[in-house]
Chains A and B, each alone.
Chain A
């Protein structure tokens, strides 16, 4: 049985900066299965975000193939890729990346609007998600009226809006203090455990990475180690 949701086959990503070519990923091959909890760690500039963008179909590889749910993302057209991305992946960014002019509720509704979900169902789902992350009383606040931790929780609610199989979090606690960071991490771990999502976290904080099942370490665009901390123990 193939439980693979994500597969990198000799993936290269080379950024062209004028004359100079900067290879950010150099032949990365890895397989991530459904329900995995992966932490990607590495020093600054090691290629973590680059790998993240490829996993999230925000970018395409220069060489090699990325398979998401056994679809080669390089072969998908723009419109299909966008819809596929919206359905399959929930993004959580270090800078929260909420739309500043929209309320918490509107931010959570947005992905469902792009995928043309039924309006009423979307509304009740968005409300319920905000309740899950503990923001039932803040649904009409704009990002500017929320603390960093609260904004990140809105972002988590938004990432879950279309019930994606994979949650991708790039430094989700990077802008938060350690207590708030821990709270946010707990929410993510709870989602992984209770809803069986595949959780992929990028971090340079080893203490956060230690919560994961598997730690992938990147160095200079190459995987230097894949360490299994614990088996599937749910």
Chain B
């Protein structure tokens, strides 16, 4: 039989057992949809991670007291700063034990590959605007350096400049919605009882306030002048690893520390990006593995349907053989049938997966990486379709072989 005719008969078979075909197809749809959704959400997160952290370039390094990477991850996200510590010791203890000071900045100045140094302090402050009050995080920055180091772009107004005193730059979300009504340029907001003028609004979606570091010392209680919560430095881009090593060894020497009692950490956005995307990758690999299981269940469903169908059509197979069908004709018809079920399941699964993944950002809007949306690549669609056809064929292989091997006499006797 010619392949075209085979396809015609296989197609007719799918149509003739509509309910059963559809039920089988649903099994595949679920599996494929899950895989497609997870892959595209994963790719979307990866992309948004790259957008957020990739913008930082490979040339920014952050030095912070304590030895925990977690604190920096949160800080880079532009959210609330946490005094991250290793489990066990409280935040207070860490702050007392390890601080970064002017002398550390001096050490950093001695490293030739460091181009800019921006020491920061952070804290949470009470802020009010037009009668409404809230607590937000504030970062004191060296306004001569910060504009050149920060990755946040100014959306409105200007950034801080060296002569600034009682002015602030605020995050996009704080400006647009935090107080119920937008804060514009040159508006005055009250921080811990004193008035500050907004000179710039950032593009990012944070609630951060940036203020010249000298002002921050006045606002934030318990911060001593010349002590910092973190130091950001800009380095020569091509010397990331060497510079990190250099910073670590010089700071350890100056602070009289060894690897064992090291009380600061040096992180770069690039390293962070790598760590996070590794985490993201292993997470989506895990989820895909789970989704793949449901695809396997779908395949078992196809096999089951095909076995039933072969049994039900045994007599017809006998008739076909009596009128000239060869084993491979029968085999091809049944294989095409199961491949078709796989294909239809794949197509619908891809559509469902795309819908599912585009609904995702709305569902997880509060997660920072969820806002990046999803990415559906042509290659993943083609992958999904070829996988589902392959699954269909693989699941139909044994039933189709069984059908093709039926002896005509036996098949004809079957009732």
Q: Complex Cα distance A193/B2, Å?
A: 34
Interface string of B400-415 (1 = CB under 8 A from A): 0000000111001000
- B328 x A79 contact (CB < 8 A): yes
Contact flag A82-B326 (CB < 8 Å), given A58-B409, A97-B319:
yes
Whole-angstrom CA separation of A113 from B325 in the bound complex = 9
**B328 close to A114 (CB less than 8 A):** no
Interface size class of B (residues with CB under 8 A): 20 to 34
- List residues of chain B with CB within 8 A of the CB of A116: 1-2
The reply on A101 being an interface residue by CB < 8 A is yes
Q: In the complex, A99→B330 CA distance in Å?
A: 14
Do the beta carbons of A158 and B323 come within 8 Å of each other?
A: yes
Report how far A222 CA is from B16 CA in the complex, Å. Answer: 45
Categorize the interface residue count of chain A: 20 to 34
Cβ A59 vs Cβ B408 within 8 A: yes
User: A28 contacts the other chain (Cβ, under 8 Å)?
Assistant: no
Contact B321–A82 (Cβ < 8 Å)? yes
Choose among B5, B407, B408 the residue that contacts A113 (Cβ–Cβ < 8 A). B5
**Cβ contacts B110-152/A at 8 Å (1 or 0 each):** 0000000000000000000000000000000000000000000
Contact B328 A115 (CB under 8 A): no
Question: Cβ of A85: which chain B residues have Cβ within 8 Å of it?
Answer: 322, 324
User: Is B296 among interface residues, defined by CB-CB distance under 8 A?
Assistant: no
A61 at the interface (CB under 8 A from B): no
Q: What residue of chain B has the Cβ atom nearest to residue A115's Cβ?
A: B324
Contact (Cβ within 8 A) A58 B5? no
Q: Is A111 an interface residue (CB 8 A)?
A: yes
- Residues 68-95 of chain B: 1 if any A CB is under 8 Å from the residue's CB, otherwise 0? 0000000000000000000000000000
Contact A111 B323 (CB under 8 A): yes
CB of B329 within 8 Å of the partner chain: yes
Contact A82 B409 (CB under 8 A): no
Contact B409–A78 (Cβ < 8 Å): no
Taking a contact as CB atoms under 8 Å apart, the answer to whether B326 and A110 are in contact is: no
How close is B325's CB to chain A, nearest CB, in angstroms?
5
B101 CB within 8 Å of chain A: no
Contacts from B to A (Cβ < 8 Å): 1-2, 5, 12-13, 16, 315-316, 319-329, 407-409, 412
